[in-house]
Structure 1
C-alpha cells in the first residue's frame, strides 16, 4: 500500500510541474491593463487643467469623452487579438494539460509494471529468486566438496553429501560418498543399506554381488532393516530363487506397519510372483505398471533380434530380464549377444561383465 501512496504523490508532483507554467496567463490577466492606466492618467490631467482654468467645463467634458472613446477602441483591438491569438494558445494549453494528466500516470504505471510489479518480491522476481536458490544450492555443494577435498577423512561430511548427490542425479558419486562414509565412520545398518541402494540405482535396479553383500551385512547388524531385507528379496528373485524371494517378501510384509511406505511395493512384488494374498491386501496394492515394463522389454528384445544393436543395448536387455526375475531369458539374451557381437571384442567384454554382475554363470560359454 505504501508504494501506491508514493507513486500517487510523485505523479501529482509531476503533473503540477507541467501545469504550473501553463497557468501563468491567469496571473497576467489580473494585472492592471496599460490602456486603462493611460486613460486614468488622461482624466487626471484634464481635471488638473480644469482646476487651473485652462479648460472650460464643457471643454473638459468633451476631452473626457474623447479619451473614453480612445480607450474603448484600444480595448476592442486587444480583445480581437486575444481571440485570434489567445484562443489557439488556450487550446494548446488544454491539450498539454490533458496530455500531462493522462500520459504521466500511464508512464508511471508502465514503469512500475516493469520494475516494481507484484511479481517482484523483496526487489527481485520469483524466477530470479528461484534461480538464485539453485545457484546457492550448487555453491553449497561446491563448498562441501572443497572441504572434503582438504579433509577426506570427514566421514560425516561424506554421509551428508551422499543423499545430495542422489537428489542431483549423480548416482555414481553417491556410491563413492557412501563408501567413504562407511570407511571413516564404520559400518552401520542404515549406512550400509543406503550404500547398497545407491549401488542398485547405479545398476538400473540390478542387485549386484557387492550390493548384496552390503545388504547382508546390514541385516546382520539390524535384523529389522526393511530396506536391506527388501533388496535381499529382490536379489533372490533375480537369482531365480523365486520361493526364497516369496518367503522374504512375505516375512517383510508381516513385520511391517500397515502404513509403511514400502508395503504397497512389497505387495506388488508378491502379486507379480503369484503369491496368494488376502482380498484386502489385493485391494490396497497399487499397480506400478509391471505389465507395461514387460511390454517394453519385449519390444527391446524383438528389435535387437531383428535389427541387432549395440553391446549396451544387449546388456540392458539382460539386466531387464534379471530385474523381472526371468533369468532364463537373461541367459538366452547373453547367448544371442555373444553371437551378434562375435567380431566386436569390446562389446563382448561388456556382455561378459554384465553376465558376471548378474551371476549368470550358466550363461557363460
Structure 2
C-alpha cells in the first residue's frame, strides 16, 4: 500500500511539472521585426492625432513641429534596440530550478508534520464499521444518559429502537413505555411500544400489545404498520373476518403487484379458505427436532451477536413461519424443537400440515424478513410423521 501511494504521488508531481515547467523554460522570444512594426504603428497613430489637433487649432504650427520631432526621436530610439525584448525571454528560468526542488520538499515536509504514514496500511472504512460490541457500548452510554435526563422523549425513542436492533426486546419495551409516558397517544409511539411488547412475549400480540395497536388504528386508520399488526392480533384471537378486513385495507395501500401485496393476498386467501368443515384434522401436538450449524468457510462473515432465525414454513402459501425460534450466532451449533406453541397465528401452525420446509437463516440486521446478504440453510421438505432429527447447515447466501 505504501509503495503504491508513493508511486501515485510521484506521478502526480511529474504531471504537475510537465504542465508548469515548459512555459517557464521555453524561450519567449518576440521577433524584433514584430516589435518594430508595433512601434511604427503607435507612432503613426500619434502623428495622426497631432495632425487632427493642428487642423482644429488645438496646436499651433510650432507646437505641432516640436511634438512631431519628439515623436520621430522616440521612434528612432525604439528602432535602435534590437534584442532587448529577445533577452527578456530568458527571464524566469531560475523558477524552474526553484520549483523542481521546492515543491517536493514542501509536500514531504507538510505530510511528515500533518500526515500519517501508518494510515496507508489501515483497513478500509467498510471494515472499520462499528461491530456489535461497539454498538452495545454506545447503547449502554445512551441508556446511562437517559437515567440523568428521563424527560427526553426523543432519547427514549432512540433507545427503544436501539434495543430493538440488538433484539433486547424487554429493554426496548421499557424504553418505548417511557416515550409513551411523555408523548402520549401518538400512533408511531403506540405501534413501536406494541411491537416491542409482542416480541418480548414470543411474538404474541394478545393483551396489552393488541390494545395499543387498536388505539393507534383509532388515531390513524390507514397506518400500514397498524393494519398489519391489527390483522395479526385479530387472527391470533381467532377473528378471521376482522383480520381479513384490516388486511384488505392494507392490500389497497400497497404498490400493485409488489411482493408485499402478493404476500398479503396469499395470506388472506389461505385464511379465508380455512372453513371448519374443510380444515384438516389436527394431529396431536408434536415437535420437529432441528440441529443447526454454520459452515466453517462462512464463520468470518458474521458476528457472535447476529440473529439466527430457525423456523418451519408451509410448502405453499404464505411465507409466515408456522413455528419460529430466535437465537444468536454465539449459540451455534444448537438443537431446537419447533412446535405449535411457537405459531404466530392459530390458523397457521405445524399440526395443520403434513409436510413443511425447514429454514435456518442468519440476519445481521435482525430483520425477520429475508434479505439479500443473509446466510441461509434449507431443508426443502420434511414429513412431520418422521421423528428423526433434521440437520441444517447454513452454507449459502441469499441473493
Of structures 1 and 2, the larger Rg is shown by 1
| Greater percentage in strand | 2
Q: Which structure is higher in RCO with an 8 Å CA cutoff and minimum separation 6?
A: 2
TM-score (norm: length of structure 1) = 0.44
The structure richer in helix per residue is 1
